[in-house]
Amino acid sequence: MPELREQLTASLQAPALDPPPIGQLHRRIQVRRRRRIVARSGLALTLSGALAAVLLLTVGSETQPPTQVQIIGQPASAPGWHMLQPFGTQVSNVGNGQTFDDTDRPPQTQGVMAYDPVSHQLVAFGGGRGASGGGRSSADPTNQTWLWDGRHWVEQDLSVNPPARIGGALAYDAVTRRLILFGGAGIGVEYNDTWAWDGRRWMQLHPATSPAVPGLLASMAPDPNSGRLLLFMLPGPYNTDPNRPPPSQTWLWTGDDWQLQHPANNPAIVGPGIASDPATKQVILFGGYLNQAYSNEIWAWNGTNWLPLVPARAPSPRTGATMAFDPDIGGVLMFGGSVQTPQALTVYDDTWIWNGHGWQPWSGPAPAGRSDYSMAYDPQEHGVVLYGGAPAPTNPDYYSRSPAVTTSSGSWLFSDTWVWRGKGLTT
Domain membership of residue 108 (yes or no) is yes
Q: How far apart are CA 5 and CA 270, in angstroms?
A: 49
Q: What confidence score (pLDDT) does residue 162 get?
A: 98
Distance between CA atoms of 12 and 55, rounded to whole angstroms?
A: 5
* pLDDT score recorded for residue 268: 87
% of the chain at pLDDT higher than 70: 68
Residue 12 domain-assigned?
no
> Residue 67 and residue 303: Cα distance in Å, rounded?
51
* Domain annotation covers residue 141: yes
pLDDT given at position 92: 32
pLDDT at position 139 over 90: no
Judge whether 69 lies within some domain: no
The predicted-structure confidence for 250-308, as pLDDT tens digits, reads as follows 999 999 999 999 999 999 888 899 999 999 999 999 999 887 789 999 999 999 999 99
Q: Say if 47 falls within a structural domain.
A: no
The single-letter DSSP state of residue 256 is: S
Residue 194 banded pLDDT, cuts 50, 70, 90:
very high
> Does residue 264 form part of some domain?
yes
Cβ atoms within 10 Å, residue 169: 23
Task: Give the Cα-Cα-Cα angle 179, 181, 185 (nearest 5 degrees).
Answer: 160
Instruction: Say yes or no to pLDDT of 403 above 60.
Output: no
Contact 88, 101 (CB under 8 A): no
CATH number of the domain bearing residue 322: 2.120.10.80
Q: Is residue 14 part of a domain?
A: no
DSSP state of 22: E
Full-model pTM: 0.78
CA torsion 402→36→59→387, rounded to 10°?
10
pLDDT tier for residue 238 given thresholds of 50, 70 and 90: low
Instruction: Please report which confidence band the pLDDT of residue 136 belongs to, taking 50, 70 and 90 as the band edges.
Output: very low
Count of C-beta atoms within a 10 Å radius of residue 58: 13
Report yes or no: 102 and 32 within 8 Å, Cβ to Cβ: yes
Judged on CB neighbours under 10 Å (0-12, 13-18, 19+), 245 is middle
Domain range spanning residue 223?
79-421
- The per-residue pLDDT for range 145-166, each reduced to its tens digit, is 999 998 889 999 999 999 999 9
Number of structural domains (the chain) is: 1
Least confident interval from 14-18, 235-239, 373-377, 411-415: 14-18
pLDDT digits (tens, 9 = 90+) for 35-90: 222 333 333 322 222 223 333 332 333 233 323 233 344 566 789 999 998 754 33
Does residue 427 belong to any structural domain of this protein?
Answer: no
More confident residue, 103 or 200: 200
- Per-residue pLDDT at 338 exceeds 80: yes
**pLDDT score of 20:** 31
